[in-house]
Amino acid sequence: MFNIINRKTLLAYCDEYPRAKNALLEWYHELLKSDFSSFQDLKNTYGNVSLVGDDRVVFNVFGNKYRLVVRVVFLYKTIQIKWFGTHAEYDKIDVSTVKMKKK
C-alpha cells in the first residue's frame, strides 16, 4: 500500500477543480490500495501514465481533461503530489520542476 503525501493538497485541488473531484478521489483511493513495485507495474495498470524524470509520473485524469503530476518512490511506497491542473495549464508548465500551488 502507498502513502500519499498529502491528502490536504489533494482536497484543495478538489475544491479548485470541482469537476475533477470524483476522478481525483477515485485515483487517491485506488493508489492507496495499490502495491506497485516499479514504474512498469504502474504502467501495466495505468497505460496512459508517463515517466518524466526525477521519479515524476504524470497521470491523465477525467478523460485527459486534467493532469496530475506526482513523485513516486517505489522503494518506500510513497507518492508526493506535485501539481494538478487542466490539460491546457499543463502545457504551460515545466513538468520536471513544477511544485504544488500555494494558496
How confident is the model over 26-44, as pLDDT tens digits? Answer: 999 999 999 999 999 999 9
CA distance 99 to 70: 10
The per-residue pLDDT for 80 is 95
Tally the domains of the chain: 1
pLDDT digits (tens, 9 = 90+) for 68-101: 999 999 999 999 999 999 999 999 999 988 877 6
What cell numbers appear for 85 in the block? 491542473
CATH of the domain at 82: 3.30.2310
The per-residue pLDDT for 4 is 94
Which residue segment(s) compose the domain that 22 sits in?
3-90
Per the domain annotation, does 98 fall within a domain? Answer: no
- Rounded to 5 degrees, φ, ψ at 95 are -60, -25
For the entire predicted model, the pTM comes to 0.93
CB-based contact 72:58 (threshold 8 Å): no
Number of other residues whose CB lies within 10 A of the CB of residue 60? 18
